[in-house]
Structure 1
Amino acid sequence: MLNQSTTGFHQLSWAQAAAHLDSQQIDYVIVTVIKTLGSVPRASGTKMLVSLTDIYDTIGGGHLEYKAIKKARELLGQTNSEPFIEQFKLGANLGQCCGGQATVLFEVMHSHSLKLDVYGAGHVAQALMPIIQHLPVQIRWIDSRKEVFPAKVDPRITVVVDEDPTEQAKLADANTASLILTHNHQLDFALVQTILTRNDALWLGVIGSETKAKRFAYKLSHRDFSPEQIKQMICPVGLPQIQGKLPMEVAVSIAGQLISLYQSWSKQQKSDHNPVEKAELSATTPNMETTE
């Protein structure tokens, strides 16, 4: 699917889309035709913008555009942000009759915000979202049930409906924080197993009790997960000093922990560009995986 959030083509130009996605802190790739030879659909300088869920503008359509979109999304799944150039022959290989050649530049534009995937759209998640939507955090809200989402969701939050939420866990960017709040313990465990198998999560929180945490740890140990991997799972999630079982009480507890995570992450990002500050921070900042 080329566009997940709209039917047909977007009305925004690639430049308008870039400004919009920057404001939403969403990663994207600028695809530019930089050189042409012979007959091609579009001239040099033509641009298109590709995100994980949508495309804006066009470099001429057809198989050339399809291959360019596929390549752009492959690059979005990588940590390397270096520009990439590829040459496409518009003959038999791409099924286009133009017969020319197009050289295409791919520029990956990664946002520098913390990424948070929230699985489950039940009562706790719905109480949590109005709190954390004001943080400068890129949030994906994921559930298999379209009907459980509120009628109106803040535009800063990306709603994802997937019959199998574990597929979204497989597609998540590296260094994403994941919060599991689903209605189903079996799904919770499948998500935990998928995220820990990837071994690249920034943080993993799971709603539940001490009993649930012990049960999950036991099952994970019998699936060859190491003690270090299992320790990455924070369950019960939330600040222990905030008690209560009402959805809003649980949401406030989780929000406090997420704010602590975000603040630690922000300090780390700043220190990575300042060696002196980085040394000072490493001696004073708790590990983000165990911040409570």
Structure 2
Amino acid sequence: MHQHLQWWQDLVLWHSDQSSMILVTVVRADGSTPREVGATMLLRFDLQQKWQQSDTIGGGHLEFQAIEIAQAMLIGREQRTGFVERFNLSARLGQCCGGVMWLLFEKIQPIAQNTISDEFQLTACYQAWQTGQSVLRHISIDAASTWQVGAHSAVSMALEFDQTDTHWHWTQLIQPYAMSVMIFGAGHVGEAIVRCLLPIGVQITWVDNRDDIFPLDLMDQVHCISTDVPEAEITHFERTGAILILTHDHQLDLQLCFEALKPTQQPFAYVGMIGSKSKRAIFEKRMQARGYDHRQLQRLICPIGIEGIHSKQPAIIAVSVVAELLQIFDNKK
């Protein structure tokens, strides 16, 4: 499933700081393990020589030991710059999950020690990833990581690790976020949902018909649209995404429902509207009068959120709705 790739964002950001970094990646996992193959963390001493960590490979003794190795690589006590090490979580580390993990350690040198084209290549890959393209990383015992925009045909080899007595190589496809959400309404609930979605890695489009309604600290992280015709944005949104209708205007909510539930070969993955069962009943009557049939009306989720949570606090509504979205997208992976 999708995951929030903070390490990938920070790799591009830190790469311009002229400091060495250690990339630690789970390349194989047997049995019960705290993280999956492909989980990655990035480590460095920043410009003030303070320790920085981006993302996690599962915490516990495994991560502590990986950090010790990374620090040894950065200060020069460990001379190897790229290697794979096996960790028995039970015998070696005493962790109760008891599986076995193989970690790939790679030292990434400052830009000054690489070619300028490497920096341009990494930045270009990140920009392509932000627009929905996949990025392919390849590293072997003989060569450091290379990064390139990957064709969709490469998805079948998203994570590939081969190891023999004398050689190993690792291929990792960094895929765009799987979940995209278009949210209508920048009120308290809309803001709470956006803040709940951001840490898990979601492409968010946030729409409102009021100017200057979006919180300033979120405008750099979310695609915010102020428009007099919010319903028109639905026609440009990908059908694999989710629509959330949370506006302050019931008539606008209805217009958005008309647009989001129009007959189509590929319906949206999710169309949800905040409101009670009585609001839903009123909307169903209005939509039936416009010719919407039972099948189309069944696609509307209202009330929204997982069952058993009844609080109307925005932050709690947000947790409930995001949990419902995760269930929808997890089933589609």
TM range (shorter): 0.5 to 0.7
1:143–1:162 CA contact under 8 A, matched in 2: yes
Matched, 1:119 2:224: no
Residue aligning to 2:132: 27
Which residue identity is paired with 2:126?
A: A
Structure-2 residue corresponding to 1:179? 244
Gaps of at least 5 residues in structure 1 are: 1-12, 29-80, 83-109, 270-292
- 1:133, 1:154 within 8 Å by CA — same for their partners in 2? no
Q: How far apart are 1:156 and its partner, in Å?
A: 4.0
Residue 162 (structure 1) shift: 1.7
Partner of 2:297: 230
Q: Tell me if structure 1 keeps the 8 A contact 2:183–2:244.
A: yes
Classify 1:174/1:198 alpha carbon distance in 2 versus 1 (closer, same or farther; 3 Å): farther
The one-letter code sitting in structure 2 at the alignment partner of 1:224 is G
Alignment of 1:78-93 (within 5 A): none
Match of 1:145 among 197, 210, 214: 210
1:204 aligns with 2:267: no
Distance 1:141 1:14, change over 3 A: farther
SS at match of 2:200: coil
8 Å CA contact retained: 1:21, 1:27: yes
Equivalent position amino acid for 2:291 in 1 = D
| Local SS of the residue matching 2:126 | helix
Question: For 2:262, what is the secondary structure of its paired residue?
Answer: helix
In structure 2, the residue corresponding to 1:173 is in which secondary structure? coil
1:152 alignment partner, SS class: helix
Name the amino acid aligned to 1:118: I
Indicate the larger mover: 235-244 or 148-157.
148-157
Distance 2:318 2:185 in 1: 13
More strand by share: 2
Decide whether the 8 Å contact of 1:118 with 1:142 is kept in 2: yes
2:306 is matched with: 239
Contact 1:141 1:160 survives alignment (8 Å): yes
Alpha-carbon deviation of 1:155? Answer: 4.1
Aligned residues: 177
**Candidates 306, 313, 318, aligned match of 1:251:** 318
CA RMSD of aligned residues (A): 2.9
For residue 18 of structure 1, report the CA deviation from its aligned partner: 4.8
SS in 1 for 2:312: coil
1:215 aligns to 2:282 (yes or no): yes
Q: 1:148 to 1:258 in 2, by over 3 A?
A: same
- CA contact under 8 A between 1:207 and 1:237: conserved in structure 2? yes
Q: CA offset at residue 157 of structure 1?
A: 2.1
Give the superposition deviation at 1:198: 5.1
Whichever of the two has the greater Rg, that structure is 2
Q: CA deviation at 1:212?
A: 0.6
Q: Look up the match of 1:194.
A: 259
1:262 counterpart = 2:329: yes
CA distance in 2, matches of 1:112, 1:251: 20
Distance 1:242 1:19 in 2: 39
Gaps of at least 5 residues in structure 2 are: 1-119, 134-151, 154-174
Letter in 2 for 1:122: G
How far apart, CA to CA, are the structure 2 residues paired with 1:262 and 1:145?
30
Q: 1:144 to 1:241 in 2, by over 3 A?
A: same
Deviations 1:188-233 (A, max 9, x none): 1111100111532111010001111001111111111110000000
